[in-house]
Copies of this chain bind each other. A is one copy, B any other.
Amino acid sequence: MTARLKHKDLLGLETLEREEIELILSTAESFREVSERDIKKVPTLRGRTVINLFYEASTRTRTSFEIAAKRMSADAVNISVSTSSVVKGETLRDTAKNLEAMKPDCIVIRHASAGTPHLIAKSVACSVINAGDGAHEHPSQALLDMLTVKEKLGSIDGIKLAIIGDIAHSRVARSNIYGFSKLGAKVVVAGPATMIPPGIEKLGCAATFSADEAISGADVVMMLRIQLERQDESFFPTAREYSRLYGLDNLKLARAKKDVIILHPGPINRGVEISSEVADGQYSVILNQVTNGVAVRMALFYLLLGASKEEVKK
């Protein structure tokens, strides 16, 4: 394999070229079968060190990165905010420089503030992967979404993707708008007026306040998680009203294409943004997304840490 990512880091899909995205997806496809084996492990990244630096709680993302690292035979070290010296008032950059000095090959970082992974990437020589920064980007999530669509529909080019929910606060939405539109999809976002940021179209999508309009003729419907804990913040009146207008049920789904697939980054709020019959129904590929998440992260580790050095050596 001679293709390369152009940067040492994966910070977002906004700055990635179409060819790079395609390279990641095709690499992920080749790693997907590893997790189906009895011995779910390749020796490719033996002796590499991955640090998972999570300033926000996470089950699935941290676990997915950790499993991906281990299936590539890398050593994974977890640091979560609660046990971290950030409580001692060290600057983020100093924390990163200190971790870098232990010679990891990659730092995977999740942080509540947009731009944190970029700051760290500039400070350290090792690779940095953005595992979610505020409401900015969550590129590995969008890549696994794209991998899932490619797996189920064969291609992304020319499809219609509807993303429904709190677009304004969603790093998942943002990364997917960038990623899917670069691969030729038509992206439409929908949500209540308080959740559609003005000017979102500049990212390369259409926007509407009508879920029905977004879903009409869609090949892919992506539901976003509603943060019920934000109900007080007056973004939306009540969970029940939100659900009636924007939650995905079989009725709304009937407007989509016949073989529509339904994505959700999880964890899902059953009966809020998605009904149980839809979440568990024949069109849902939510669990395929999770499986593909491990493959995408294996591919990212491979492309960022492994490929180049290996070629030199072998």
Contact = CB atoms under 8 A, between A and B. Distances in A.
Interface of A: 35-41, 46-49, 51, 54, 57-60, 62-64, 66-67, 70-71, 75, 77, 79-80, 82-91, 94-95, 97-105, 225, 228, 266-270, 287-291, 293-294, 309, 313
B85 A59 contact: yes
The complex is assembled from copies of this chain, and their number is: 3
Contacts of A36: 103
A225 to B, nearest CB: 8
A91 B271 CA distance: 12
A79 B103 contact: no
A59 B40 contact: no
A59 B79 contact: yes
A94 B268 contact: yes
Contacts of A102: 35, 60, 63-64, 67, 290-291, 293-294
Contact of A266 (B41, B59, B98, B105): B98
A64 B79 CA distance: 12
Given A48-B40, A70-B75, A83-B80, A90 B291 contact: no
Nearest to A70: B75
Contact of A268 (B49, B83, B90): B90
A75 B72 CA distance: 11
